[in-house]
């Protein structure tokens, strides 16, 4: 039985995930909670190597199925090596992206059939599921501007065409519609301060509901 819980921040590239996660970490620590930050692809030494392979802009030839299975391989390692032990130790795990991104990018944007995605994802998850996905919703064109203003190059998945990124965004919104208990959508076009305020409202409600269940 896990004592901790897991929240995922997800959404379009450049929506502000990394920015808001840093503030959320500070907020939870100020409440005396034990927090573990992690990310996908990545999160473990093996996962970070897989991340480099997945995101390498020098290999645009990667097949969609290779990409899907690499995400699955990294996720299996991530859960077993890092997430489950942290949750068992009572930590709050915050992940910068997780399996909702696979549905958005590999199914809704790339067009791999849902059954295949579910098959690979189920193998990776092995019955595990995060408690909540907070989707930072932003027009991908706006997100791209933000990423470019960071002054770093684009990775293989950021360097996709506009319609691909729009399908991925809509994929997040569809998942949120289908699983309202597991998803919250936040308007990420707002100021950083307002986005954080909205996110903290969701986190506080989650903390309250989990506390209620355990009493
Ligand atoms: N609400 C906001 N309004 C305006 N700019 C923002 C907002 N949130 C973040 N930014 C800025 O946009 C850029 C991208 O933010 P950040 O790196 O947090 O996004 P991300 O979702 O983690 O991106 P990626 O998908 O590339 O990891 C940063 O320069 C950040 O300071
Ligand atoms: Mg980021």
Residue 201 banded pLDDT, cuts 50, 70, 90:
very high
Residue pLDDT, tens place only, 111-167: 999 999 999 999 999 999 999 999 999 999 999 999 888 877 777 777 778 899 999
Residue 196 banded pLDDT, cuts 50, 70, 90:
very high
Give the three-class secondary structure for 64. helix
Average pLDDT, the chain: 94
Instruction: Find out whether the beta carbon of 195 lies less than 6 Å from any atom of ligand 1.
Output: yes
Residue nearest to atom 2 of ligand 1 (CA): 192
Q: Which residue has the tokens 């590999």?
A: 106
Torsion from C-alpha of 160, 162, 167, 168, nearest 10 degrees:
50
Instruction: Find out whether the beta carbon of 150 lies less than 6 Å from any atom of ligand 1.
Output: yes
**Shortest-distance atom of ligand 1 to CA 158:** 26
Domains in the chain, please, with CATH? 5-214 (3.40.50.300)
Give the per-residue pLDDT at 210. Answer: 82
Neighbours of ion ligand 2 (CB under 5 A): 17-18
Distance 41 CA to ligand 2 centre (A): 11
Residue 189 has pLDDT above 70, yes or no: yes
Instruction: Find out whether the beta carbon of 145 lies less than 6 Å from any atom of ligand 1.
Output: no
Of 81, 168, 65, 153, residue with least CA distance to 117: 65
pTM of the model: 0.95
Residues in a beta bridge with 6: 93
- Give mean pLDDT, residues 175-201: 98
Instruction: Find out whether the beta carbon of 193 lies less than 6 Å from any atom of ligand 1.
Output: no
Residue nearest to atom 8 of ligand 1 (CA): 16
Q: What residues contact residue 119 under an 8 Å CB cut-off, 6+ apart? A: none
Instruction: Find out whether the beta carbon of 55 lies less than 6 Å from any atom of ligand 1.
Output: no
């Amino acid at each position: 039985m896990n004592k901790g819980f897991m929240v995922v921040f997800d959404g379009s590239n450049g929506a502000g995930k990394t920015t808001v996660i840093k503030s959320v970490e500070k907020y939870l620590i100020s409440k005396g909670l034990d927090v573990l930050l992690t990310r996908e692809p990545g999160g473990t030494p093996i996962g970070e190597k897989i991340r480099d392979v997945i995101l390498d802009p020098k290999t645009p030839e990667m097949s969609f199925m290779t990409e899907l299975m690499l995400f699955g391989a990294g996720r299996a390692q991530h859960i077993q090596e890092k997430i489950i032990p942290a949750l068992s130790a009572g930590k709050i795990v915050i992940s910068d992206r997780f399996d909702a991104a696979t549905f958005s990018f590999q199914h809704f944007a790339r067009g791999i059939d849902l059954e295949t995605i579910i098959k690979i994802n189920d193998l990776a998850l092995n019955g595990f599921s995060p408690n909540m996905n907070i989707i930072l919703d932003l027009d991908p064109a706006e997100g791209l501007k933000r990423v470019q203003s960071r002054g770093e190059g684009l990775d293989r998945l950021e360097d996709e065409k506009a319609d691909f990124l729009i399908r991925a965004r809509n994929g997040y919104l569809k998942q949120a519609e289908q699983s309202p208990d597991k998803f919250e959508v936040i308007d990420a076009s707002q100021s950083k301060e307002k986005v954080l305020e909205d996110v903290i409202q969701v986190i506080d409600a989650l903390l309250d509901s989990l506390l209620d269940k355990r009493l």
